[in-house]
Amino acid sequence: MSTYQYPGTSCRHLYVAPSRRLGRSLGVDLVPHKVCSFDCIYCQLGRTTELSVTRRPGPPVELLVLEVQEALARGPRPDFLTISGSGEPTLYEPLDELIAALGRVFRPLAVLTNGSMLRQREVRDALRGADVVLPSLDAADEDLFQHVNRPHPDLSLASLVEGLAAFRREFRGAIWLEITMLGGVTAIPAQAVRLAELASEVGPDRIHLNTVVRPPAEASALPAPGNDLEVLSSLFQPAAEVIGEAQIPKHIETVAVSAGAMMSILRRRPCTVGDLATALNAPSPAVIKTLQTLLRRRAVRVRVCDRQVFYSVDEGVSV
């Protein structure tokens, strides 16, 4: 678990994320890096270090609520309070108590999940306290599910879809289904048609098409070429939305471009200068200046992916 402190506070489990779907999101990090029920080949957090479907206690609810209250009091108002993490957040317990408590502090409350734990009634019941749940569905047959998501042995595509459909029947809030399509693998018409059929069985309110936009866990995970996602989006019902880069309204107050704030973001995902400028609501020259300092200290490293330069931080590195 990161020990980063949210700027100007004592909050150790929060971060500001430049979310392409949620605008400016105040994230609550629930699980240690990188405990997950999947080991997706496209994961921007790197390979899963603990592949697990065992739910376990995390930071105390009271502590997380206090941190959120402090961050909200001192920082700019986010568009969403988002339960996520450096892995699969529904592995956290007690999720029901946490969602109920956070919902009393701030709304809208979103939960990012790979959806694999929705097969469990207690997880579905816990998530009913959220406003928006954003699960994933990346493959339409078992072989591709195993190839793309590399799930825990207890999981199957059938159990994932059954869990998603059961949750849809029970949940009154919004479900935004994310489909990450990979070039040459799932971002092709035949697979898109089958994914659209499965998505219809689930019945989400919105469908978001994504692809590899940051350095993936495996070099074999390629982005969908050209405007293929735009073309494939019309095959879905409701018509899928292709996720653009994060757009944060300019009027939002500025988070100081401190090395700590930048490191907090880079620990969770590799970013371009543009990503950092958006997340921190700062001009690019200010971002570059701080990056140069961090590069001189060897606190960040540079990677090139799909002709873009990304900056990232290795586990355990601090400034």
Q: Does 29 bind ligand SF4 (CB under 6 A)?
A: no
Is 110 in a helix, a strand, or coil? Answer: strand
Rounded distance between C-alpha atoms, residue 5 and residue 7, angstroms = 6
- Distance of alpha carbon 65 from alpha carbon 220, whole angstroms: 40
Residue 87 interacts with ligand SF4 (CB under 6 A): yes or no: yes
In the complex, least distance from residue 30 CB atom to ligand SF4, rounded to whole angstroms: 12
Does 92 bind ligand SF4 (CB under 6 A)? Our answer is no
Give 205's DSSP letter: S
With CB under 6 A as the contact rule, the residue among 2, 18, 19, 39 that binds ligand SF4 is 39
Q: What angle do CA 245, 246, 248 make, to 5 degrees?
A: 145
Classify residue 210 by burial, with Cβ atoms within 10 Å: 0-12, 13-18, 19+: buried
What is the contact mask toward ligand SF4 in residues 114 to 133, using x (rule: CB under 6 A)?
A: x-------------------
Task: Answer yes or no whether residue 145 interacts with ligand SF4 by CB under 6 A.
Answer: no
Return the H-helix or E-strand segment holding 319: none
Instruction: Closer to ligand SF4 by CB, 29 or 88: give it.
Output: 88
Q: Six-digit token pair at 26?
A: 């105040």
Asked if 40 interacts with ligand SF4 (CB under 6 A), we say: yes
Q: Say whether residue 178 binds ligand SF4 (CB under 6 A).
A: no
Residue 28's CB is within 10 A of a number of other CB atoms, namely: 26
Give yes or no for a cis peptide into 108 (omega within 30° of 0).
Answer: yes
Q: Is residue 221 at the binding interface for ligand SF4, with CB under 6 A as the rule?
A: no
Give the whole-angstrom CA distance, residue 11 versus residue 27.
11
Q: Does 36 bind ligand SF4 (CB under 6 A)?
A: yes
Asked if residue 67 binds ligand SF4 (CB under 6 A), the reply is no
Which value, in Å, is the radius of gyration of the alpha carbons in the chain?
A: 19
> Where does this chain touch ligand SF4 (CB under 6 A) — which range of 16-24, 37-45, 56-64, 155-163?
37-45
Site for ligand SF4 contains 48 (CB under 6 A): yes
User: Is 18 an interacting residue with respect to ligand SF4 (CB under 6 A)?
Assistant: no
Alpha helices in the chain (DSSP H): 61-74, 95-105, 121-127, 142-149, 157-170, 189-202, 228-233, 259-268, 273-280, 284-296
Least Å distance, CB 114 to ligand SF4, is 4
Please report how close the Cβ of residue 134 comes to ligand SF4 at its closest, in angstroms. Answer: 11
CB-nearer residue toward ligand SF4: 155 or 277: 155
Tokens of 142: 């078992």
The least distance separating ligand SF4 from the CB of residue 224, rounded to whole angstroms, comes to 16
Binding site for ligand SF4 (CB under 6 A): 36, 38-40, 43, 45, 48, 87-88, 114
